[in-house]
Amino acid sequence: MNVQPDLEFIRQLKTAGGDTLKKCFQCATCSVACPLSTDKKPFPRKEMIWASWGLKDKLVTDPDVFLCHQCGDCTEKCPRGAKPGETLGAIRAYAYQQFAWPQGLAKLTTSAKNLPVLIGLPAVVILIMWLFSALIGVSGLHIPNHEQFAEHGYQHFFGSWNFYWYGKNIAFIALIMGVSALIAIISSWMGVTRMWKAMAADAKINATYRPSVFQFISRFLWPSIWETLQHKRFKECKTNSDRVSGHLPLVLAFIGLFLATCWSLIKNDILGLIWPSLHGPLWFWDPIKLIANVAAIAMLYGIWVLWQNRRKMEAEGRASNTFYDWFLIWEVAAVGITGLLAELLRWGGMPGLGYVVYYVHLISVMMLFLYMPYTKFAHIVYRTLAMCFERYRNSSFVQ
């Protein structure tokens, strides 16, 4: 076997959390300790060998890299302190950059030195749109008085216009967040498509026939999503079993906030056109509003648990302090804190400070959408795809 190591790849792994890679002496303790490793597809020993050899092409097409839940069981048992879980996390970070589009945006998320640009880009976009809103419609650049703030909340942040069928504020927010989400969707689609083809080619899969869209969803995608929602594999981990108490509330919080956002749009911009009394901020005791508030609290609780867990692991030497791991925690914390604080300021009748906090909230939400395919958040799509591929390669579709 002719091995041609990529030394630059090894250096990138070290900066992304795989700094202890060279301590591994391939004893296979990690594969024995891992509750998710199987006899036929053991990991992470083979990934540690490939990483030390610099075989990046083998690693980015290996579904086992993405099946790892980074629970820390392997790191806990490693006699050399090689932190295999951290190395696999660094490999995933590298893979997200390789599969991503556009590459320039992906590279911005790789280093803390780019943080001013990562924050400044959405901050400038939203500020420009806010300034531009003054040129369109009835009002713009307008801080409401207490009575207007109590009646409309943040629904006139970008002003208002006389077009009855679609509100100016929602039009501007939909444009900003829609474009950000579209970039994330296109990047994610291109990434998982490349990854699936690469995994299939590397595994030398000869499919007897292709599954239909319905078959793919029913047999591979939905079971993978359902398993994730149940957190089955998380619960198999022993060392960091408390991660479930942080990760699960976070997942449910995102689902709850997504449902609340959808209902708010339907209520204001569809039903509100028929029954004007429905137009306006959700009433405090509205069932969907209660779900949104509970979800916001769950988000803050979940991210606090993960924050404390990460700090504890780093203090005990079981994890490395990397921008890759902390950036997502900061992002989610910013979304939750600014969202809840903006609501509290609306209840307290403080429009000036409320608008500033809401502006920061929009920045944090745009960052979450725009950078999703390039940060640790990308595991939502890549790990799900790897779980689908795991089922697919063991199905009757593959000989």
Q: Do residues 201 and 391 make contact, with C-beta atoms less than 8 angstroms apart?
A: no
ω before 351 within 30° of 0 (cis)? no
Q: Are residues 129 and 70 in the same domain?
A: no
Would 258 be classed as within a structural domain? no
Strand partners, 368: none
Residues found in the chain: 399
279 falls within a domain: no
Q: Please give the sequence-ordered ranges of beta strands (E in DSSP) within 321-390, or none if there are none.
A: none
Residues 91, 132: one domain? no
pTM for this prediction: 0.88
Under 8 Å between Cβ of 377 and 93: no
Residues 184 and 60 in one domain: no
Residue-range definition of the domain harbouring residue 67: 7-99
| Same domain flag for 207 and 331 | yes
Burial class (CB in 10 A: 0-12, 13-18, 19+), 213: exposed
Q: So what's the pLDDT on residue 359?
A: 96
Residue 306 lies in a domain: no
The 8-class DSSP code of residue 398 comes to B
Please report the pLDDT score of residue 185 as a whole number.
95
Cα torsion through 364, 370, 376, 381, rounded to 10: 130
Domain match, 78 and 127 both: no
- If asked whether residues 94 and 111 sit together in one domain, one would say no
- Is the same domain home to 67 and 146? no
Q: Number of structural domains, the chain? A: 2
Residues 157, 30 share a domain:
no
- The pLDDT value given to residue 398: 80
Closest CA to 58 of 196, 194, 197, 203: 203
Q: What is the DSSP letter of 269?
A: I
Query: End of a domain among 99, 115, 140?
Result: 99
Does residue 268 contact residue 155 with C-beta atoms inside 8 Å? yes
The pLDDT value recorded for residue 18 is 66
Q: What is the structure's pLDDT at 208?
A: 66
**pLDDT value of position 203:** 83
In terms of domains, do 56 and 145 share one? no
Residues lower than pLDDT 50 in the chain:
none
Q: Which residue, of 99, 134, 152, is where some domain finishes? A: 99
Same domain, 12 and 81: yes
User: What separation, in Å, do the N-terminal and C-terminal C-alpha atoms of the chain show?
Assistant: 27
Beta carbons of 34 and 43 less than 8 angstroms apart: yes
Beta bridge partners of 207: 398
Last residue within a domain, chosen from 99, 128, 160: 99
Q: Is residue 307 part of a domain?
A: no
